[in-house]
Chain A
Amino acid sequence: MSDLNIRETLLELLTDWGVSGYEGNITARFRKALSYFTDDIRVDKLGNLIATVKGEGPEPRPKVMLAAHMDEIGLMVTKIEAQGFLRVTAVGGVDPRTQMAQEVVVHGRDGDYVGIFGSMPPHLTSPSERGKSAPLEDMFIDLAMPEERVREKVRVGDLVTIRRTPLELPFDRISGKSLDNRASMTATLECLQELKRLHHQADVIVVGTVQEERGRLGAWTSMFGIEPDIGIAIDVTFGDMPGAPDDASFPLDGGPCIFWGPNISLKVARSMFDVAKRLNMPVQKELGQRESGTDVDSMQLTGAGYPTGLVSIPVRYMHTSVETVCYRDIERTGQLLAHTIAGVDRAYVEGLTCFLKD
């Protein structure tokens, strides 16, 4: 089997859609990519995709779970108005102002339909109206079809996503919708690719989780089912930009952000910093004082509790359709994970729960 083109896979994942609860297309695409590394792939009852790559250690081998959520934020149709205009509500944290004047895809009864979020021409708005932004309830989607056809093709409850072909920008940047969290899914593939040329004792279990954007549901059940020795979530964090808080935003191309705070095992985090230093890889430290707002929130507290880690990739313009990432950061994240996993053996895992000195 020829090698997987991982960068190309990211572009394909960005073109697909999978709003929370409807991750089917993404699952299929991710499964295909993971099949380059293992045949042991299954889907659990919630829809989490679980792929296991065996390690070289003696049984029982340590298990490291890597969780990257597959779902994206989106919209759901709530009403079909006279003339066939659609009203929608948000699934996940959608900023209505980033939806204005966008092209969208309505995932209808028997196919996808292109629509436009209508905008009032400036000729018809007063300066004071231009100073106000419309709430999502006041916005509408134009399907360019007569009302009866819209009613035939679209149902209340159908999903809507922004229509955005991923863009390759200069300087190794990629821009598109749903880099949160397709960037991290891609980093797990980079990790598996790197592990092919390393020796690792531990089994690696890559999980594409569902419904992160609706309360980190998939991570909870998959962690419970897998019972790993270490659970590491991979997600995106805020890229630096004007107006972003200095203490919670990170330059693109500055390397993976290793989370430091109560939501993770400080031992695991320290190991990752050590690995980065050894690899001479730039990394950044993301500080948290409580839950991190990622899958690792639930992973740490599943069952009797687990040692966890969190690595995040800086993404600018999060939760918009032009989220922007530097591909080098995705590669580095994969390498960091792979070399961290390569250092995991039975003794290391036992050490993670030891906090007392004799």
Chain B
Amino acid sequence: MLLKRLTEAMGPSGFEEEIRQVIYEEIRDHVDRVYTDALGNLIAEKDGTRPGPKVMLCAHMDEVSLMITHIEPNGLLQFAHIGGIDNKILNSQPVLIGDSKIPGVIGSKPIHHQSPEERRQPVGLNSLRIDIGASSREEAMTLVEPGDVAIFATQYEEIGERKAKSKSFDDRIGCAVMVETLKKNFDVPTVYVFAVQEEIGLRGAGPAAFRVQPDISLVLEGTLAADFPGSPGHGKATIQGNGPALSVVDSSSIHNRKFLDHMVQVAEANNLPYQYRKTVAGGNDAGRIHISRAGVLSGVISVPTRYIHAPAQLISLDDYENTIALVEQFLRSVEQGGLGQ
């Protein structure tokens, strides 16, 4: 099960070793060339039958996660965020630490020992610890050391109706769409970039785009679906189940209107559902790719994802399949001279 393999693999920003290997094994038999660069981006190329235009697809492999920063004399582990995490979602979560995936839990003070004021405050990072059962620093050091990274211990599972739950759909869902896409053949040259370090400032995609020098770039993301109670009006970016989301503007890019209009046309011509991503919040790798070298014509398609950056994220399998279909039709349109390249 591709989504299970991709979402359960470990890949904190800058520590993408495991997820990179998992993706490599998925794709190596389907592409002409696959290699990594100095940052650890995984780049796969398919030559096609024509010289151009060259299309670069990009999804990031890394995930929001934690790093062990200090081991206390009592054996508890202090940690820091890697990427944007709200401390509220850390309380009482199981985690897996380091390459050998040592299990641990994030504990908190029992409600019995809290004052009424304390009960109203979220528990801050300075009072959250990971407990691996060690009684002392010496015991803990036999299994863990500062600098080890930790991920949420969430498992992939299909729940409810046509929905799937796992960690890191942001952006393993984009990786999955790319894996399915690169199994298909296109006349135009295609390059698939599985980028590192998106969650800590869009750091991997820029160098990859500089190397690849694409004519057109398409970024695939798992984006905000805040179609739930209490969400601010401006935050209801996408509606889960309403199809792939097309970006207009976000915190990293004002997206190219010509590209956007073309995507809409492709969706409508193929009877595929789509929606606009209706918030400015959040950015993605397109922010770096579209200003690479002399500039790249770029766009973004996202799978609406509820509870991104939390341990249990939720996607619609219909949205996922429609995104795969839309990406294929987009590439077919480029084969036929779409986007005027």
A250, B6: Cα distance in complex, Å: 42
- With A114-B159, A124-B232, A133-B121 given, is the CB distance from A170 to B133 under 8 Å? yes
User: Is there an interface contact between A149 and B161, defined as CB atoms closer than 8 Å?
Assistant: yes
In the complex, the answer to whether A320 meets B88 with C-beta atoms within 8 Å is no
Of the stretches B51-59, B285-293, B304-312, the one at the interface is: B304-312
The residue of chain B having its C-beta at the shortest distance from the C-beta of A118 within the complex is: B228
B230 touches A120 (CB 8 A): yes
Taken together as a complex, chains A and B put the C-alpha atoms of A326 and B123 apart, in Å, by 25
Query: What is the count of residue pairs linking A and B with beta-carbon distances less than 8 angstroms?
Result: 219
User: Chain B residues with Cβ under 8 A from A162's Cβ?
Assistant: 92
Q: In the assembled complex, how far is the CB of residue A224 from the closest CB belonging to chain B, in whole angstroms?
A: 28
Query: Which listed residue, A85, A119, A167, A245, touches B310 by the CB 8 Å rule?
Result: A119
Residues of B within 8 A of A322 (CB): 92-94, 105-107, 131
In the complex, the answer to whether B107 meets A170 with C-beta atoms within 8 Å is no
Q: Tell whether, in the assembled complex, residue B122 and residue A144 are in contact, meaning their CB atoms are under 8 Å apart.
A: no
Stretch at the interface among A95-103, A183-191, A200-208, A212-220: A95-103
Chain A residue numbers with a CB within 8 Å of B106 are: 322
Q: Is the CB of B112 within 8 A of A318?
A: yes
Q: Once the chains bind, are A98 and B113 in contact (CB under 8 Å)?
A: no
In the bound complex, do residue A85 and residue B108 qualify as a contact, i.e. CB atoms below 8 Å apart? Answer: no
Query: Does B132 sit within 8 A of A, measured CB to CB?
Result: yes
Nearest opposing residue in chain A for B143, CB measure:
A170
Which of A103, A131, A167, A243 is close to B105, meaning CB atoms less than 8 Å apart?
Answer: A167
Q: Is the CB of B134 within 8 A of A171?
A: yes
B174-208 interface bits toward A, Cβ cutoff 8 Å, 1 = contact, 0 = none: 00000000000000000000000000000000000
Query: B20-49: contact bitstring with A at CB < 8 Å (1 yes, 0 no)?
Result: 000000000000000000000000000000
Q: Give Cα A321–Cα B121 distance, bound, in whole angstroms.
A: 19
A114 x B105 contact (CB < 8 A): no
Contact B103 A319 (CB under 8 A): no
The tally of residues in A whose CB lies under 8 Å from a CB in B reads 68
**A26-34, A135-143, A279-287: which lies at the interface:** A135-143
Residues of B within 8 A of A242 (CB): 72, 74, 76, 127, 129
A131 to B85, CA, bound (A): 13
A157-186 contacts to B, CB under 8 A, are 162, 164, 167-173, 175
Q: From known contacts A101-B311, A133-B122, infer whether A123 and B92 are also in contact, taking CB-CB under 8 Å.
A: no
Contact, CB under 8 Å: A101 / B312:
yes
Closest to B232 in A: A124
Q: Mark A105-138, 1 if CB is under 8 A from B, else 0.
A: 0000000011110111111110000111110001
Contact of A172 among B102, B107, B133 (CB under 8 A): B133
Q: Is B91 in the interface zone, CB < 8 Å from A?
A: yes
Residue of A nearest to B139 (CB): A171
The answer to whether B163 has its CB under 8 Å from any CB of chain A is yes
A234-286 contacts to B, CB under 8 A, are 238, 240-245, 248-249, 251-253
Known: A97-B91, A321-B92. A85 touches B160 (CB 8 A): no
Q: Shortest CB–CB separation between residue B137 and chain A, in angstroms?
A: 13
Contact B111 A170 (CB under 8 A): no
B2 in the interface, Cβ–Cβ < 8 Å?
Answer: no
Query: Once the chains are docked, how many angstroms separate the CA of A322 from the CA of B128?
Result: 13
Confirm or deny: A343 has a beta carbon within 8 angstroms of a beta carbon on chain B: no
Quick check: B88 and A244 within 8 Å, CB to CB? no
Q: Assuming the A-B contacts A121-B224, A143-B160, A238-B112, are A316 and B107 also in contact, with contact meaning beta carbons closer than 8 angstroms in the complex? A: yes
**Chain A: interface secondary structure?**
loop
The smallest beta-carbon distance between A132 and chain B, in angstroms, is 7
Measured CA separation A302–B308 after assembly (Å): 53
Question: Bound state CA distance, A84 and B87, in angstroms?
Answer: 27
B254 contacts partner chain A, Cβ-Cβ < 8 Å: no
Give Cα A278 to B315, complex, Å: 60
Q: Is A305 an interface residue (CB 8 A)?
A: no
> A145 at interface (Cβ–Cβ under 8 A)?
yes
Decide: A123 and B224 in contact? CB cutoff 8 A. yes
Evaluate contact between B307 and A317: CB separation under 8 angstroms: no
Contact (A145, B306) CB under 8 Å given A120-B231, A238-B113: no
Contact A317–B127 (Cβ < 8 Å): no
Chain B residues near A303: list those with CB within 8 A: none
Any B CB within 8 A of the CB of A57: no
- State in angstroms the CA–CA spacing of A22 and B102 once bound together: 35
From A83, A97, A113, A170, contact of B123 by CB (8 A): A97
Cβ of B340 under 8 Å from chain A:
no
Determine whether the beta carbon of A251 is less than 8 Å from that of B135. yes
How many Å lie between the Cα of A94 and that of B108 in the bound state?
A: 13
A265 to chain B, nearest CB (A): 25
Name the residue of chain B whose CB is nearest to the CB of A102: B92
Complex-state Cα separation, A140 to B226, whole angstroms: 13
Given contacts A95-B119, A140-B229, A244-B109, contact A169 B84 (CB under 8 A): no
Question: At the interface, yes or no: B98 with Cβ under 8 Å from chain A?
Answer: no
A168→B103 CA distance, assembly (Å): 8
The reply to whether B135 and A100 form a contact with Cβ atoms under 8 Å apart is: no
Q: A170-B134, A320-B108 are in contact. Are A140 and B228 (CB under 8 A)?
A: yes
Residues of B contacting A118 with CB < 8 Å?
228-229, 306-307
What A residues does B311 contact at CB under 8 A? 101
Q: Given A101-B312, A167-B94, decide whether A146 and B161 contact each other with a Cβ distance below 8 A.
A: yes
Q: In the complex the two chains form, is B127's CB within 8 Å of A130's CB? A: no
- Of the A-B pairs whose beta carbons lie under 8 Å apart in the complex, a sample of 28, sorted by A's number, is A101-B311, A102-B93, A114-B160, A116-B165, A119-B89, A121-B86, A121-B224, A121-B310, A122-B85, A123-B281, A124-B231, A131-B122, A132-B121, A134-B230, A144-B159, A146-B161, A167-B105, A169-B131, A173-B133, A175-B103, A242-B76, A243-B113, A249-B113, A317-B131, A318-B111, A320-B110, A322-B92, A324-B131
Chain B interface (Cβ < 8 Å from any Cβ of A): 72, 74, 76, 84-89, 91-94, 102-114, 119-123, 127, 129, 131-135, 139, 143, 153-154, 157, 159-161, 163, 165, 224, 226-232, 234-235, 279, 281-282, 306-312, 314
Closest 4 CB pairs of A and B: A144-B160, A173-B133, A317-B107, A144-B163
Q: Give 6 new A-B contacts, CB below 8 A, not counting A142-B228, A170-B102, A172-B133.
A: A121-B282, A144-B163, A168-B103, A170-B132, A170-B133, A320-B91
